[in-house]
Amino acid sequence: MTVRFLGGDTGNDGSPRLYEDGEDFLVQGYLIEDPSVLAQLKIPEGETVVRIPKGLMKYLPEDVNGATVA
């Protein structure tokens, strides 16, 4: 499967970015390292959390699997 770039607001190689890979969206963003924020989240082993601006959502396709993305 080919990863498809959907959009980003910070030039050619910056963050954040949004991609599509088959049925999944891939998000490139800013790693959350603040212990007070991480303490509020329950992150399973092998996963991480990234922060992206809400403005990046404009790059989500309007229709995903027959459902409209707001």
Query: Mean pLDDT throughout 16-44?
Result: 88
Give the confidence band of 49 by pLDDT, cuts at 50, 70, 90. Answer: confident
- Cα 11 to Cα 41: distance, rounded to the nearest angstrom: 31
Share of the chain above pLDDT 90, in %: 10
Q: Looking at residue 69, what is its pLDDT?
A: 57
Task: Please say if the pLDDT value at position 66 is more than 70.
Answer: no
Q: Give the DSSP letter of residue 23.
A: T
- By CB neighbour count within 10 A (0-12 exposed, 13-18 middle, 19+ buried), where does 18 fall? buried
- Cα 45 to Cα 52: distance, rounded to the nearest angstrom: 21
- In the chain the first and final C-alpha atoms are separated, in Å, by 26
What pTM was estimated for this model as a whole?
0.68
